[in-house]
Amino acid sequence: MSIDSPRRGYRQRTPQLQKLMHQVGISSLRELARSTKTSTHTINKLRSGNLNSIRWESIVKISDTFQISIDEFTSIFGDCDPRSPDRSVEILQQEYQQLQQQFQQQRETLQAEFQFQSLQTLESFLTYFPTAKQAAIDNPDFPASKIFPLVGSIDRLIHSWGVTVIGAVGSQVNYDPRWYQLIEGAANPDELVTVRYVGYRQGEKLIFRAKAGA
């Protein structure tokens, strides 16, 4: 049977549903199902006022499409039979809290994995740089070249994130305001400038511009 075809048991909330659809320019129940990315079964539950059995995500999608609040949505499509107390709002709140907890747990897990992988990549730097730093403090003649290998782990880390360096210190490049910031002198686009400090970008997304002088 077509989702648009009325049948007994699916008329309880159909007039209210059609009114809201008209307000947002949706002409059919099939179009409503497509635009809200919900199933026809869910729409039929809504038509019958069986709100308690509809998932929270679907309710949020449909109420957003109708541009009404969750409270207004539940007051329209909730169970109005005085013999059966309406617990739809309570159930929705419980589902919402459960989703919040799940999202928070996922976020904490992803953050922990990200931090762990980053620290693994920086292992050599974190292990040896404090010692090299202290040696440089204690001995002014400590050769800086001994520190260079330690920063290689940082280069590997940003490379694994798809980050590339803009410019090279001391190099001359054609000035492009998208990627270079002048910190001394003046230059027009495509004129040669000298890179003082490198910049970084991730694909076509600028992280921060390289600094150059004319």
Q: Tell me the C-alpha to C-alpha distance, in Å, between residue 187 and each of 33, 60, 126, 183, 214.
A: 57, 53, 41, 11, 6
Q: How confident is the model at residue 91 (pLDDT cuts 50, 70, 90)?
A: low
| Domain of residue 39, CATH code | 1.10.260
Domain span at residue 206?
164-214
Question: What's residue 88's pLDDT?
Answer: 56
Residue 188 is assigned to a structural domain of this protein: yes
Q: Which of 212, 148, 147 is nearest to 183 (CA)?
A: 212
If you average pLDDT over each of 6-20, 87-101, 102-116, which comes out highest? Answer: 102-116
Please give the tally of structural domains in the chain: 2
Q: Does position 115 have pLDDT exceeding 80, yes or no?
A: no
Question: What's residue 8's pLDDT?
Answer: 45
pLDDT digits (tens, 9 = 90+) for 19-76: 999 999 998 888 999 989 898 888 888 888 777 788 888 888 898 899 898 878 888 8
Q: Answer with the one of 23, 47, 80 that is the final residue of a domain.
A: 80
Q: What strand order describes the sheet that includes 180-184? A: 172-174, 192-197, 210-213, 180-184
The CA angle 127-129-131, to the nearest 5 degrees, is: 85
Residue 124 is assigned to a structural domain of this protein: no
Residue 35 is assigned to a structural domain of this protein: yes
Residue 44 is assigned to a structural domain of this protein: yes
Q: Which of 184, 173, 172 is nearest to 214 (CA)?
A: 184
- Compute the mean pLDDT over every residue in the chain, rounded to the nearest whole number: 80
